[in-house]
A and B are shown apart, each in its own frame.
Chain A
Amino acid sequence: MSEKSLVELRVGLSGRIVRLETHDETLLRKLTALGLAPGEELTLLQKIPSYIIKVGYTEVALDRETAVSIILSCD
């Protein structure tokens, strides 16, 4: 078990969200609303041209700057 940010995750692998490291309250809330909340499991589908992750049945596209703030625990 180790903590890493989404940008350090390899494509195709999954991790559980530990926390969102951002002070931007709007961003925090929007990410939560898209299903990216602590405790949720996500799978990284691709990194280029944008990050695409799958949470539950939803796919979400993110930029790298946002991906950095998503901290995961992976086994």
Chain B
Amino acid sequence: MGCKCPHCVASREARMTVDYGPTVEEALREIAGKLEGQYGMSGKAVGLLLLQRDPEIMEELARRESAETVREIHLVIDRVENALDSPVPYYVALRRREAAAELAKRVASADAGGRSPAAWLGRILVHPILGLPALFAVIYFGLYQFVGVFGAGTLVDYLESNIFETIINPWVNQVVDALFPWYWVRELLAHEYGIITLGVRYAVAIIFPIVGTFFLVFSVIEDSGYLPRLALMVDRLFRAVGLNGRAVIPMTLGFGCDTMATMVTRTLETRRERILATLLLALAVPCSAQLGVIMGILSGTPGGLMVWAGTVTLVFLLVGYLTARLLPGRGPSFYMEVPPLRMPSLLNVWRKTYTRMQWYFREVLPLFILGSVFIWVGRITGIFTLLLTGLGQVVSALGLPEETAIAFLFGFFRRDYGAAGLFDLYQNGTLNPLQLVVSSVTLTLFIPCVAQFTMMAKERGWRTTLLITGFIFPFAFAVGWVLFKILGALGFGTT
């Protein structure tokens, strides 16, 4: 019975124990002797947590033990608290650290001179000046060129036009039309806004390449140890809007897909940060789909792109700054371990990317299908016609033609649809340069797409989501109106 392996229960005494000193040890023996219920861990561990007044364990104690036992144990806790000169949790942690330090001294030894070969590179990457080129290179090549241009451009175009629009969609339309004589079923499954032809296509042809390329870059950045360095380089920037360096992840992600970014805000530490990030993503971070079309429209208007980018950035900073001051609580503390740099391993990068993609599809694909169903309901029931009339009056106030209302409405279901709608209006000459800038800004701010909206509700709850959208709707139009007035007064686009 002298076996020391963890399966030989008799040998548990051979395992190392921490000596917490006579006062605590005696109390632990006393508590362990009184406990009747099952806590899923040893009496000693339960006792230690009780001495530290762990809320969850205290609550279980009250449920599982007799009132008499609970009273006695409370007396023991009080006694220990009085006997020690420091708070119990602090005292316990200190004793344990001492034991660990003593052990570590015996098992770990350093020989001088050993130095990581990547150390100098690690230093350069976090240098306030020398680190900047690397930072821009990662953002420009990794995010902009690879995710934005290659993923969101080349790959999306190929999947959309060569696979879906020429092969899959026509085939689905034919099959559905052949199978179902009813108009409403045909519209639900196929054609312009169907579950398969819009929902699935959106998830597979647009989101998949963007998310896939992003996750690939992200896994490389993470696996190489650059991520914490990136976060510490931009910490001060994000501090201005009540976030910290950690927020660099969801925020850059937002330029790929805001829905995914909203989901990733859950990696932020406090609820306050998560709400701030969710709001800013919904309001002022255009996703790649939208970004592409807006750049296309405004590239023809001198200064238009600058006014658009300037206004959106200003709104981002202003709203972030003000909300951070308005929301209760303090800005988050930033502290992060900076691991040594290492060569990313292909296997790790692949597995991380693969697992994340899998997870993404399970979470997001249903939302896009839901989006298609919403559009279908809106069209079939005539709710859309009603909404268009209302929206038409709002856009008129911004000096925009009523047709833009359609672009705004559909922008909710697919961000780039809205922008594409504007593009049509621009091409057939309905919009002048001033109207184009105003409507682009308003559309960018105005609304998250339906998938993002659903994700917000899922991650932040309905109350917060409705509050956020309740703010964004009027605010976006207000900014549009102010911009219309200012630009009009300056004579923008008339020369």
Could you list which residues of chain A lie within 8 angstroms of chain B, going by C-beta atoms?
A: 24, 27, 30-32, 34, 37, 45-46, 48-50, 52, 58-63, 65-66
Are the CB atoms of A60 and B336 closer together than 8 Å? Answer: yes
Are the CB atoms of B233 and A52 closer together than 8 Å? Answer: no
**Which chain A residues lie closer than 8 Å to B401 at the CB level?**
none
User: Is B495 an interface residue when CB atoms closer than 8 A count as contact?
Assistant: no
Are the CB atoms of A66 and B232 closer together than 8 Å? Answer: no
Rounded to whole angstroms, the CA-CA distance of A60 and B231 in the bound complex is 12
Rounded to whole angstroms, the CA-CA distance of A58 and B228 in the bound complex is 13
Q: How large is the interface on B (under 10, 10 to 19, 20 to 34, 35 or more residues)?
A: 20 to 34
**Which chain B residues lie closer than 8 Å to A61 at the CB level?**
126, 228, 231-232, 235, 245, 334-338
Could you list which residues of chain B lie within 8 angstroms of chain A, going by C-beta atoms?
A: 93, 97, 123, 126-128, 131, 228, 231-236, 239, 244-245, 331, 333-339
**Which chain A residues lie closer than 8 Å to B231 at the CB level?**
61
**Which chain A residues lie closer than 8 Å to B234 at the CB level?**
49
Are the CB atoms of B245 and A50 closer together than 8 Å? Answer: yes
Q: Which of B93, B128, B334, B335 contacts A34 (CB 8 A)?
A: B335
The chain A residue sitting closest to B129, CB to CB, is A48
Rounded to whole angstroms, the CA-CA distance of A50 and B237 in the bound complex is 11
**Which chain A residues lie closer than 8 Å to B244 at the CB level?**
63
The chain A residue sitting closest to B116, CB to CB, is A57
Are the CB atoms of A59 and B236 closer together than 8 Å? Answer: no
**Which chain B residues lie closer than 8 Å to A31 at the CB level?**
335
Q: Which of B97, B235, B331, B337 contacts A50 (CB 8 A)?
A: B235
The chain A residue sitting closest to B336, CB to CB, is A61
Q: Can you list 15 A-B contacts (CB < 8 A)?
A: A27-B333, A31-B335, A45-B123, A49-B126, A50-B245, A52-B126, A52-B232, A59-B339, A60-B336, A61-B126, A61-B231, A61-B245, A61-B335, A63-B239, A65-B331
Rounded to whole angstroms, the CA-CA distance of A53 and B314 in the bound complex is 35
**Which chain B residues lie closer than 8 Å to A37 at the CB level?**
97
Are the CB atoms of A49 and B333 closer together than 8 Å? Answer: no
**Which chain A residues lie closer than 8 Å to B233 at the CB level?**
49-50
Rounded to whole angstroms, the CA-CA distance of A37 and B239 in the bound complex is 26
Are the CB atoms of B335 and A49 closer together than 8 Å? Answer: no
Q: Which of A32, A59, A62, A63 contacts B93 (CB 8 A)?
A: A32
Are the CB atoms of B235 and A63 closer together than 8 Å? Answer: yes
Are the CB atoms of B245 and A58 closer together than 8 Å? Answer: no
Rounded to whole angstroms, the CA-CA distance of A48 and B236 in the bound complex is 10
Known pairs A46-B126, A49-B128, A63-B334; list 10 more (Cβ under 8 Å). Answer: A34-B335, A45-B123, A49-B233, A49-B234, A50-B233, A52-B126, A60-B337, A61-B228, A61-B235, A66-B335
Are the CB atoms of B338 and A60 closer together than 8 Å? Answer: yes
**Which chain A residues lie closer than 8 Å to B232 at the CB level?**
49-50, 52, 61
**Which chain A residues lie closer than 8 Å to B93 at the CB level?**
32
The 4 closest A-B pairs by CB, nearest first: A63-B334, A50-B232, A61-B232, A59-B338
Given contacts A32-B93, A48-B128, contact A58 B337 (CB under 8 A): yes
CB distance from A45 to the nearest CB of B (A): 8
**Which chain A residues lie closer than 8 Å to B228 at the CB level?**
61
**Which chain B residues lie closer than 8 Å to A60 at the CB level?**
335-338
Rounded to whole angstroms, the CA-CA distance of A27 and B330 in the bound complex is 13
**Which chain B residues lie closer than 8 Å to A50 at the CB level?**
126, 232-233, 235-236, 245, 334
